[in-house]
């Protein structure tokens, strides 16, 4: 890099930083956790200069330099000046392929770090104190740069750094449930950000900001399209559009993936079959893979939903999931691609117990999938509910890499207007022990591959991103995007630590302010569980849109589509018996869980009605009856939302007015809808059991007929 180009870089960075932060002064949420607000206390040891350890900047290292310039202009009040020689107080960016300017005795063994790993080290070079960001590759250096800038923006002392990080999982993906018509299934933040009509000729600058945000939390893959797939995306005009996006994402270490419609050989290939064992079908997919890789050399591979909810798949031809997955895997394997095959399946025939089906279908296939296939499994055996036990497949398929699927968008947790920090949900799942013949291990050890020695590992999150200015529909839903990236990087992470980092970067480093916000976040998801699905109840949401309570629905033509199927309330009892005397879904778990959850007395209250059918007068551990406890949980959930409102109201003047007002308005909606959930649910349960409310509990505001008559035909996020 010449002195002239360095000067141009500095001028461009200053212009960019000025324009970004002029727009950011409105605090509309666009800048996410990359606001780079000036901390209360200037971080000790902050560098004054930045240099590359090589002459020419790759696109990835250029992205790192741009980020340093943008951040330092705001955090430090002045841009770190580019330099070509080592000075005191220089931030040096180096990687395995960018190290020429470092003395050999000062250059760490960056190859040993691993391609995505990085180290941050304060050291002396030629007698001058510097800070080194060293990556196993340029991408590792970019990740390390984001870590260093996070520390600056948080007001940390960076004068004596000796740290680093390596991702625990190989694949860290966002799954966009976006249609080519820009509809986002289960999306609550506007249209799809992918403007397919204008691509590839117009590439929205927002795509670069999207890539920056993802790279800053270690996300390295994006599945662009809905798992309810459209074969059109695999046609040549759309592949040109996909290639344009891939070009934007590449410097940030992000690969693109596509959802493959299993019947594509028929729909766009002119074949008469999609049988995975048919030679012509296999050749068609191989040719399609070659075509994709010719346009996108670093294409990641396919994500597949098959034989579920009406989607085509190998079972249409009498073939197994493994035979379908392996056929696609063979097509992408010569290019280094992978296949993520979703385990969310349920048959066209009504099952004995829907939560058993994925395990029943996939467990016998353990060890039969190709080496470049991961089976992508939802965190629980049903469908992203406010609370479920962990999926029994985790720990039950040691010969197959299993990829965790979390839902970042809040399909079942109040959409974008209910404050629900999902980090606590994900931590609950990841730290729960699964059991093998060798003993107990956290589910996180299945996900990172360490339990069974899998080199291929990953985590996927159903994205909550749309065209809303604040990206995710609400400011606090940004925290779930952020937390997903952090958990994907380290499944053993702490939800509270992640919340604290996000709050600091998003609202400032005032420790009292951060503590207030974190305390609010940490109770939020449990509040939602209490006012929606307490004591192990599940899937009580309205039909289709999943908005609001509808536990009374029992007439959809198929029982397991109805809320009634999951609670089966009668005058005497409520709950789904999944023990040996019922559906025996408990048998899919290892023996320690069979014993704990299969016994009424040892099942924790939060999962009671998931595993057991019990009488309304059943005595709970605290001595209350089940009915009284249920009502008190509804009341506690509503009370916690009121508590969250009060906490937030006390922050007025300490949070910018625009964001403060939106959060206040959304909390008011949440309070109203929590009360709706509470009142409608209690009115229904009372219509079944005929029991009086416990002393002091308020009667529902309206009668049951009122709640049943409510209709929401245009609630957002429905499939179509």
DSSP helix/strand/coil, 441: strand
Q: Residue 671 burial (CB < 10 Å; 0-12/13-18/19+)?
A: middle
Query: In Å, how far are 6, 617, 620, 627 from 623, measured between CA atoms?
Result: 72, 11, 5, 12
Q: Is 116 a catalytic residue?
A: no
User: What is the rounded distance in angstroms from the CA atom of residue 178 to the CA atom of residue 218?
Assistant: 22
Identified catalytic residue from 55, 309, 554, 665 = 309
**β-strand 573-574 against 614-615: which pairing, if any?**
antiparallel
Helix (H) or strand (E) holding 268: none
Q: Tokens 């591959």 label which residue?
A: 449
Tokens of 701: 């505001």
Region label for 166, one of left (φ > 0), alpha (ψ between -120 and 50) or beta (otherwise): beta
The answer to whether residues 376 and 405 touch, using CB atoms and an 8 Å cutoff, is yes
Neighbouring C-beta atoms of residue 48, cutoff 10 Å: 16
Strand partners, 377: 404
Query: In Å, how far are 51, 129, 142, 507, 659 from 48, measured between CA atoms?
Result: 10, 12, 19, 25, 32
Identified catalytic residue from 116, 411, 526, 606 = 411
User: What is the rounded distance in angstroms from the CA atom of residue 90 to the CA atom of residue 102?
Assistant: 12
Q: Residue 298 burial (CB < 10 Å; 0-12/13-18/19+)?
A: middle
Q: HSE-up of 697 (CA within 13 Å, CB side)?
A: 23
The answer to whether residues 133 and 205 touch, using CB atoms and an 8 Å cutoff, is no
CA angle 313, 314, 317 (to 5 degrees): 115
Identified catalytic residue from 278, 298, 383, 496 = 383
Q: Specify the DSSP class assigned to residue 460.
A: E
Neighbouring C-beta atoms of residue 390, cutoff 10 Å: 25
User: What is the rounded distance in angstroms from the CA atom of residue 631 to the CA atom of residue 642?
Assistant: 17
**β-strand 118-125 against 162-165: which pairing, if any?**
antiparallel
Is-cis flag, bond preceding 200, omega within 30? yes
Q: Is 411 a catalytic residue?
A: yes
Q: Residue 447 burial (CB < 10 Å; 0-12/13-18/19+)?
A: buried
Handedness of CA 19, 23, 27, 32 (dihedral sign): negative
Helix (H) or strand (E) holding 172: strand 171-175
The answer to whether residues 189 and 718 touch, using CB atoms and an 8 Å cutoff, is no
Task: Calculate the CA dihedral of residues 435, 439, 444, 448 and round it to 10 degrees.
Answer: -110
User: What is the rounded distance in angstroms from the CA atom of residue 45 to the CA atom of residue 36?
Assistant: 17
Query: In Å, how far are 92, 134, 325, 385, 715 from 104, measured between CA atoms?
Result: 15, 14, 47, 54, 62
Query: In Å, how far are 389, 432, 435, 606 from 394, measured between CA atoms?
Result: 11, 10, 9, 21
Query: In Å, how far are 380, 382, 404, 706 from 539, measured between CA atoms?
Result: 12, 9, 21, 21
Longest dimension (CA), the chain: 83
Tokens of 222: 């994006």
Q: Is 595 a catalytic residue?
A: no
Q: Specify the DSSP class assigned to residue 232.
A: G
List, by residue number, the catalytic residues: 309, 383, 411
């Amino acid at each position: 890099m010449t002195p002239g180009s360095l000067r141009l870089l500095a001028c461009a960075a200053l212009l960019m930083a000025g324009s970004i932060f002029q727009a950011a002064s409105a605090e509309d949420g666009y800048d996410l956790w990359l606001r780079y607000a000036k901390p209360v206390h200037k971080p000790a040891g902050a560098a004054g200069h930045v240099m590359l350890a090589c002459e020419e900047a790759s696109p990835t290292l250029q992205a790192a330099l741009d980020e340093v310039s943008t951040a330092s202009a705001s955090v430090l009040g002045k841009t770190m000046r580019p330099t070509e020689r080592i000075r005191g107080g220089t931030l040096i960016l180096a990687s395995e392929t960018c190290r020429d300017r470092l003395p050999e005795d000062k250059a760490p063994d960056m190859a040993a770090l691993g391609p995505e790993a990085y180290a941050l080290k304060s050291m002396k070079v030629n007698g001058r104190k510097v800070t080194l960001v060293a990556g196993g590759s340029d991408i590792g250096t970019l990740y390390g740069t984001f870590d260093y800038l996070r520390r600056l923006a948080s007001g940390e002392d960076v004068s004596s750094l000796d740290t680093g990080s390596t991702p625990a999982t190989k694949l860290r993906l966002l799954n966009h449930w976006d249609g080519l018509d820009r509809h986002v299934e289960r999306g609550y933040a506007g249209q799809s950000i992918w403007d397919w009509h204008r691509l590839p000729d117009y590439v929205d600058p927002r795509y670069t900001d999207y890539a920056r945000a993802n790279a800053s939390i270690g996300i390295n893959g994006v599945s662009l399209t809905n798992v309810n797939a459209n074969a059109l995306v695999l046609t040549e005009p759309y592949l040109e559009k996909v290639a344009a996006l891939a070009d934007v994402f590449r410097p940030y270490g992000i690969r693109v993936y596509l959802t493959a419609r299993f019947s594509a050989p028929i729909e766009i290939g002119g074949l008469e079959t999609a049988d995975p064992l048919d030679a012509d079908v296999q050749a068609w997919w191989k040719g399609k893979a070659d075509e994709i890789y010719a346009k996108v050399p670093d294409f990641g591979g396919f994500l597949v939903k098959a034989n579920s909810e009406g989607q085509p798949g190998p079972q249409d031809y009498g073939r197994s999931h493994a035979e379908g997955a392996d056929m696609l895997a063979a097509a992408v394997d010569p290019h280094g691609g992978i296949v993520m095959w979703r385990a969310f399946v349920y048959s066209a025939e009504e099952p004995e117990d829907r939560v058993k089906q994925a395990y029943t279908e996939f467990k016998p296939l353990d060890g039969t999938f190709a080496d470049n296939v991961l089976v992508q499994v939802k965190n629980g055996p049903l469908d992203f509910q406010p609370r479920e036990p962990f999926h029994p497949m985790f720990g039950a398929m040691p010969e197959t890499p299993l990829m965790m699927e979390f839902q970042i968008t809040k399909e079942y947790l109040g959409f974008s207007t209910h404050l629900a920090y999902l980090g606590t949900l994900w931590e609950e799942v990841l730290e729960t022990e699964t059991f093998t013949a060798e003993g107990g291990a956290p589910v996180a050890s299945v996900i990172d591959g360490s339990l069974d020695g899998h080199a291929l590992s990953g985590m996927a999150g159903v994205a909550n991103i749309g065209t809303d200015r604040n990206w995710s529909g609400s400011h606090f839903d940004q925290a779930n995007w952020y937390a997903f990236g952090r958990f994907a990087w380290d499944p053993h992470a702490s939800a509270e630590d992640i919340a604290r980092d996000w709050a600091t970067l998003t609202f400032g480093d005032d420790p009292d302010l951060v503590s207030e916000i974190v305390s609010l976040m940490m109770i939020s998801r449990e509040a939602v569980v209490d006012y929606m699905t307490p004591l192990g109840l599940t899937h009580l949401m309205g039909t289709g849109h999943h908005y609001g309570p509808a536990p009374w629905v029992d007439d959809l033509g198929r029982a397991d589509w109805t809320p009634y199927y999951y609670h089966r309330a009668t005058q005497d009892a409520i709950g789904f018996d999944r023990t040996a005397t019922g559906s025996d879904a408990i048998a899919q778990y290892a023996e320690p869980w069979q014993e704990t959850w299969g016994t009424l007395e040892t099942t924790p209250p939060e999962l009671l009605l998931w595993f057991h059918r019990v009488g309304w007068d059943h005595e709970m551990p605290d001595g209350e009856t089940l009915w009284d406890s249920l009502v008190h949980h509804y009341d506690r959930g509503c009370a916690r939302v009121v508590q969250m409102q009060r906490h937030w109201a006390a922050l007025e003047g300490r949070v910018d007015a625009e964001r403060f007002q939106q959060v206040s308005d959304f909390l008011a909606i949440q309070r109203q809808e929590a009360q709706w959930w509470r009142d409608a649910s209690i009115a229904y349960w009372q219509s079944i059991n005929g029991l009086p409310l416990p002393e002091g509990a308020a009667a529902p505001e309206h009668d049951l007929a009122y709640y049943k008559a409510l209709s929401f035909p245009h609630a957002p996020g429905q499939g179509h």
